[in-house]
Structure 1
């Protein structure tokens, strides 16, 4: 995993080999906090495991999954841009991942690799404290893998979901498969979710919508977590909106990932503290 265009580890393991090897595949890999969350959970739970980040270009995805089998990797988190493509490489697909049409988790069980989606669990657990949501209106920005998990969770909460995306055809396909309807940002909403990468480092000055399109008193949920306070959330607060950053979603989906392979669930508050501590040193947040 060292040649150009192949999966390459972002960090090296300088200690005795652990019993279980886990990690994350994404491209590019610089923005991920997942190793910090998972290692904190392993330490708290007493799990003999290590978690590494691998920068995997789209052309190397098939080889990376083959490497997972060959090396006996227990679990791989799957991030951008692989969440939809990875479904074709798994032996089995969970009902949730099948319906969502995207996976953020590959878990090895014996000689099989199972694709699952815990992103929707992360969305659900993040929004539940702000509820109840049944019968209320949600607008989702984006139509990719993350947006599909968001829509699945919002429908699970009983919300009336509207999807808007720069490519209307992709939004139409999403709602045809998961429910909801295609619309515009100008329609009323109680919840606005940014499920695009706009605002993610290094594009910290980008926002998926103009400040004038933010509706006061609505909850604005940005799934981007780095930076923690995005331009979208800053402008939302100034407009009198409630805000929710993307870190809780990341934490809760990680908790579910760890439960899938280990049978144990770490304390979400512990993982949140570990991530907050790591972000304190991020100069892009100051």
Structure 2
């Protein structure tokens, strides 16, 4: 793949390689290619006992795909601490030996490129880079930065920003759209993750992806960029959806929604969104392109006040797990698909068990049952209202007793102090529902109730879906209870979300279930 062909592509995937030996660097290049990278970024300053001419020749003669050579000095976040002139001579050498791209820092780019004009090889493209630490610059300052970088004579410009809030990414998107030459712009870390995935929408030259088995905490993997997000399909018309949560690293929604969008030929992308401030988030991302959201912990209740309208079910529950931006007027409408998703999963598990025992049933199998709910947050409220609608008697435990009492009053239930949960003895045949993060990865060994009380429950439901079979469900199964995984709730609420996101009458249920079985 030549450089001319590379420059004509919309957005490429680049694997940053930081091996400490030339041999490992060559091996990593081949691994990156096999995983789907379009090019690799070689960090020379990471190589121990680096021998410029010898090592560069080995790297460039053995490259299986185009390379971007970087020799980052310590003053710009790298590891090189030697003579500056020697460092720049190494970059010139890389150009002479046939590197596809070289990276030069903005601080030294103008002088270096002016000196190199007479020797500049037409086959090598120069990336002028700038790493911005501290506060993300204003739109005006970024405009000036774009002009300075373009004036150096760069073929491509690159800006890396350490955002402290997801709203700052909007400035990166504007930076991308301002440039007349190819541009790379992104932020790393959980708050900056969206900048990588959506870069193709705003015309980014490339996105970075880490090699499988060598994860970079701030980057998606090459495989996720190729398979889950399919960044090569993202364009300026792609509609954005995402999970509003804090944190979001546990999210699996992108593994379900993105393949489903593609399955029905809908030009949408679903990304995790680490949100610190709901008000600022909604005011920043107010364009029609940001068309809908899943809402996760801890925002399902708080998000209600930022909706222009709320569906009656979500209003009565006091929690929304789905928000849609209405195309006709841009208003935010809140919905709750958790309620039916969770309760129907519990009902169907009981019905399935009864069928295998040859028993007849009619109506809801939870009518008249004691429904013991742990957690009175957004998910807990959905479960409580769903249980009430089926005629169950709801008993609520929450670490915030006032919140438990408030929810109990709303569903004509009973609130109990959280400290009593460990010794609580339910009625025989009761249903237990955990709607707290207890047992979620990485703290998977925790359970919300005493193990010896599980034998009294007919059904145990856990809203936690990572891991798929939590310690609570394992213990409940051993005690003889019917168990219902949070994966089932996750799937069923997603059916409702999909129809709201896309405006379609029905979700492709079987396709989505197959995805879940394969990915969870």
Q: TM-score, normalised by structure 2?
A: 0.51
Q: Which residue of 2 aligns with 1:271?
A: 512
Q: Which residue of 2 aligns with 1:170?
A: 403
Match of 1:241 among 445, 459, 481: 481
Question: Is the partner of 1:70 in helix, strand or coil?
Answer: coil
Match of 2:391 in 1: 158
Q: Deviation of residue 106 (structure 1)?
A: 1.1
CA contact (8 A) 1:121 1:256 kept: no
Q: Match of 1:76? A: 293
Q: Which has the higher contact order (CA 8 A, sep 6+)?
A: 1
User: What is the distance in 1 between the residues matched to 2:515 and 2:346?
Assistant: 21
Q: Tell me, yes or no, if the aligned pair for 2:321 and 2:338 is still in contact at 8 Å.
A: yes
Matches within 5 A, 1:104-253: 104-109=321-326, 110-129=329-348, 130-131=350-351, 132-183=365-416, 185-188=424-427, 189-216=429-456, 218-253=458-493
Residues 339 and 383, structure 2, Cα contact 8 Å, conserved in 1 = yes
Asked whether the 8 Å contact 2:295–2:322 carries over to 1, the reply is: yes
Q: Which runs of 4+ in 1 moved over 6 A?
A: none
* Structure 1 residue runs without a partner (length 5+): 280-286
- What CA RMSD, in Å, does the superposition of the two structures yield over aligned residues? 1.9
* Aligned twin of 1:28: 247
SS in 2 for 1:140: strand
Give the superposition deviation at 1:152.
0.9
Deviations 1:101-131 (A, max 9, x none): 1111110003211111111021133123124
1:74 offset after TM fit, Å?
A: 1.1
Cα distance in 1 for residues equivalent to 2:340 and 2:282? 24
2:318: which partner in 1?
Answer: 101
Q: What is the deviation of 1:88?
A: 1.1
Give deviations 1:82-103, integer Å, cap 9, x for gaps. Answer: 1111111111111111111111
Deviation at 1:217, TM superposition (A): 5.6
Which residue matches 1:283? none
Identify the residue that residue 148 of structure 2 maps to in structure 1.
none
- Supply the distance in 2 between the matched residues of 1:226 and 1:214 (Cα, whole angstroms): 21
For residue 151 of structure 1, report the CA deviation from its aligned partner. 0.5
How many Å apart are 1:71 and its aligned residue?
Answer: 5.6
Corresponding residue SS for 2:166: coil
CA contact (8 A) 1:248 1:272 kept: no
- 2:382 counterpart SS class: helix
**1:42-71: per-residue Cα shift (whole Å, max 9, x none)?**
1222212111111112xx221211233136
Q: CA deviation at 1:270?
A: 2.4
Q: Secondary structure at 1:25's aligned position in 2?
A: strand
2:273 aligned partner: 54
* Inter-partner Cα distance in structure 2 for 1:207 and 1:116: 30
**Do the aligned partners of 1:26 and 1:82 also contact (CA within 8 Å) in 2?**
yes
Q: Which has the larger radius of gyration?
A: 2
Q: 2-side partners of 1:3 and 1:9: how far apart?
A: 6
Compute the TM-score of the two structures, normalised by the length of structure 1: 0.90
Q: 1:125 to 1:263 in 2, by over 3 A?
A: farther
1:167-215 per-position Cα deviation (integer Å, ceiling 9, x unaligned): 3221101111233112453231521100111001111111111211213
The alignment partner of 1:203 has SS state of: coil
Partner in structure 2 of residue 5 of structure 1: 165
Spell out, residue by residue over 1:207-249, the C-alpha distance to the aligned partner (whole angstroms, 9 max, x if none).
1112112134611010100001111011111111111110110
